[in-house]
Structure 1
Amino acid sequence: MTLKKWILISLPILFFIGFAGANYLGFLSPSFSSVVHKPIQRIDLIDLQGNRHSFDELKGSDTVIYFFASWCTPCYKSLMTLEQVTANKQLPINLLAVALDEDIDEINRMLIKTGFTGKVWIASEGTMALQKRYFGNERRGVPYVVKLDKDTNIIERSYKLNQLTQWQAVLRDGVSLNKMKSL
């Protein structure tokens, strides 16, 4: 085989492999601007008892979703803060914590350590959700927060919600996540 033929055969194969790899790693995933005002991506979710759930269950109420992982150090403080804000209080907005790692034992240890007693669901493909930048998570990081409207459309996001006063403003007073960025 001549060098020219070898190159003509190899280039499309290399291009395909590169494209497939970039897609798998999330480099071709949607930006936040392309998912805002659209329904949140549907993924398989379970609770701590193994029962299946869907984001469709959130329809009818505005909801804040707090994405976290047991290996995320700042997430520990945020869960403790969330417990302070939500414990024994009726909130005008739903709060759901979604773990993006699949290790239920570690998640349970984290919840015990933080004292968080709120609703927790686990993403069965949490690592992939991070890699593919689901929910407009362009940085592929946690903690990550999105706000959904009554129809489960993503309307806002934040990477910087970590203070007690910020969480109180969002969950108790209905302040916009975007407004929290300026505080």
Structure 2
Amino acid sequence: MKQVRLLLFLFIPSISWGQSYEEKVAVSKALIGKPVQAHTFYTLDKQSFSFQNLQGEFIVAYFFASWCSPCYGTLENLDKAIKNTPPTVRIVAVSLDEDWIKLKRMLAKTGFSGEVWKSADAKSVLRERLFANYSGSLPYIIRVDQQGILIEGGSEVKTSEQWSAIISQNASLNEASKI
């Protein structure tokens, strides 16, 4: 019986993890230039929403969670940039929290007053490295064009000046990260 358990222990993880780190990164990076994935989100008033609802708009989405320490400062800086610089793109802050209460506490603490969505399945977003988040970490940012194509992803934008360049001057994430 112990041998069977040992075999199952060794066999089952290989099924669930299947891909190597390098394969997961490659698959995630390959999402750039393709239509943004279909995924269900909820607005703060619990209405179902997705990126597909925003066809025809340029979108910048900031993925965050209440358990992510750096996300607090970055969310505060995004809020400052939105208030100080008229955006030329639609900005969506996307929570990967499982708990609505923790999400609302974070929004209150940071003072963020922009558009917020909460993932219907936050764990899969990170686990599957959706939205070209090949690092599988937070905070994370994507840009989506008017045709719904994922054009860029990254995690180096943090300051309000960097955010202002993205949301009002259409700077790439890479360009903004160097400000």
1:6-29, Cα deviation, whole Å (9 max, x unpaired): 9xxx98x77862442214998854
User: Percent identity between the aligned chains?
Assistant: 32
How many angstroms apart in 1 are the aligned matches of 2:11 and 2:34?
A: 30
RMSD: 2.6
| Structure 1 unaligned spans of 5+ | 1-5
Q: Does 1:79 align with 2:75?
A: yes
How many angstroms apart in 1 are the aligned matches of 2:51 and 2:70?
A: 25
Residue 127 of structure 1 is matched in structure 2 by 123
Look up the SS of the partner of 1:108 in the other structure.
Answer: helix
- Whether contact under 8 Å (2:65, 2:95) holds in the other structure is yes
Give 1:182 shift: 3.6
Look up the SS of the partner of 1:151 in the other structure.
Answer: coil
Aligned AA for 2:16?
A: G
- Whether contact under 8 Å (1:24, 1:132) holds in the other structure is no
Give 1:138 shift: 1.3
How many angstroms apart in 2 are the aligned matches of 1:107 and 1:48?
A: 10
- Whether contact under 8 Å (1:98, 1:122) holds in the other structure is yes
Residue 3 of structure 1 is matched in structure 2 by none
Look up the SS of the partner of 2:169 in the other structure.
Answer: coil
Give 1:100 shift: 0.8
Q: In structure 2, do the counterparts of structure 1 residues 132 and 71 end up closer, same or farther at CA, with 3 Å as the change threshold?
A: same
Residue 158 of structure 2 is matched in structure 1 by 162
Give 1:124 shift: 1.1
- Whether contact under 8 Å (2:29, 2:134) holds in the other structure is no
How many angstroms apart in 2 are the aligned matches of 1:156 and 1:52?
A: 25
Give 1:90 shift: 3.5
| Structure 2 unaligned spans of 5+ | none
Alignment of 1:7-22 (within 5 A): 17-22=12-17
Give 1:103 shift: 0.6
Larger Rg: 1
1:47-67, Cα deviation, whole Å (9 max, x unpaired): 111111111122111110000
User: Residue 65 of structure 1: which of 35, 39, 61 is its match?
Assistant: 61
Query: Bigger shift: 46-55 or 80-89?
Result: 80-89
Aligned AA for 2:115?
A: K
User: Residue 134 of structure 2: which of 132, 138, 152 is its match?
Assistant: 138
Give 1:176 shift: 1.1
Q: Does 1:43 align with 2:39?
A: yes
How many angstroms apart in 1 are the aligned matches of 2:102 and 2:22?
A: 29
| TM-score normalised by structure 2 residue count | 0.87
Q: Does 1:109 align with 2:99?
A: no
Q: Aligned residue pairs: how many?
A: 175
How many angstroms apart in 1 are the aligned matches of 2:88 and 2:41?
A: 24
Give 1:101 shift: 1.5
